[in-house]
Amino acid sequence: MRIDIVTLFPEIALAPLSESIIQRARKAGLVEIAAHNLRDWTTDKHHKADDTLCGGGQGMLLKPEPIFAAIEQLRTPESKVVLMTPQGRVFKQAVARELSAESHLILLCGHYEGVDHRVIEQLVDLELSIGDYVLTNGAIAAAVVTDAIVRLLPGALGNEQSSVEESFSDPNLLEAPAYTRPIDFRGHVVPEILLSGHHGNIAKWRKERALERTRANRPDLLES
């Protein structure tokens, strides 16, 4: 798989993708990740990538010319072009799973008030939001999406089970609370059942705690 990130801040996108599991996946050749500076496709002497809104209004918008030039250079017939924007479809584990099956993603990062709408109409296959809040910079969102996709690639996680059993594999249930040693930490002890060795009871306990936690933190998941 290949992921190209197009942004005004390539270092912001790459920093969290250059350590730990994702860096190991890159070194193992599971994924090739590159971040490109949109300014490299500007043609004026000030490398201007943004401009004011037609019709008036606050803020600046990314101009179409450098974005069209970037995408036209980077894309292949297999590419899927994704725009990071708070106006997009909400990114969930199921979307990460879908995207992890693609061979080439181009993640285009908005900045300021977003991008000229002709970019969306002509170039973008999918608008994606990582949640109902506004970041200063789509590069942060691109790093989040890339991380969630790459860890799903076969071989990216040491233990293949770990991406199967976690939250959102059953998309309607959070994970149960988990404990490690010491058994007694400052008088707070690990639930006895987890020390019982009785797998059936432990599984039942985990299911109940998962439900309880979901009810408390994410009741919306149980309604769906």
Could you list the residues that contact ligand ADE (CB under 6 A)? 84-86, 110, 129-131, 133-135, 138, 141
- Partners of 36 in beta bridges: 6
Q: Which is nearer to ligand ADE, 38 or 157 (CB)?
A: 38
The CA-atom distances, in angstroms, between 124 and each of 36, 119, 170, 187 are: 17, 7, 30, 55
What is the nearest approach in angstroms of ligand ADE to the Cβ of residue 142? 8
- Partners of 137 in beta bridges: 111
- Residue 42 is encoded by which pair of tokens? 């500007």
For residue 205, give every residue at least 6 positions away whose Cβ sits within 8 Å of its Cβ, in sequence order, or none: 176, 191, 193, 194
Q: Which is nearer to ligand ADE, 85 or 163 (CB)?
A: 85
Q: Which residue is nearest to ligand ADE (CB)?
A: 141
Geometric angle at alpha carbon 154, from 153 and 159, rounded to 5°: 110
What is the nearest approach in angstroms of ligand ADE to the Cβ of residue 33? 18
Q: Which is nearer to ligand ADE, 70 or 140 (CB)?
A: 140
Q: Which is nearer to ligand ADE, 19 or 132 (CB)?
A: 132
The CA-atom distances, in angstroms, between 152 and each of 19, 25, 93, 135, 179 are: 16, 10, 10, 25, 25
Q: Which is nearer to ligand ADE, 7 or 214 (CB)?
A: 7
What is the nearest approach in angstroms of ligand ADE to the Cβ of residue 129? 4
Which amino acid is residue 5, in one-letter code? I
* DSSP three-state, residue 205: helix
Q: Which is nearer to ligand ADE, 10 or 110 (CB)?
A: 110
What is the nearest approach in angstroms of ligand ADE to the Cβ of residue 217? 20
- Residue 98 is encoded by which pair of tokens? 């879908």
Distance of CA 8 to the CA centre of its chain: 18
What is the nearest approach in angstroms of ligand ADE to the Cβ of residue 138? 4
How many Å apart are CA 1 and CA 29, to the nearest integer?
A: 9
Residue 115 DSSP code: B
What is the nearest approach in angstroms of ligand ADE to the Cβ of residue 89? 10
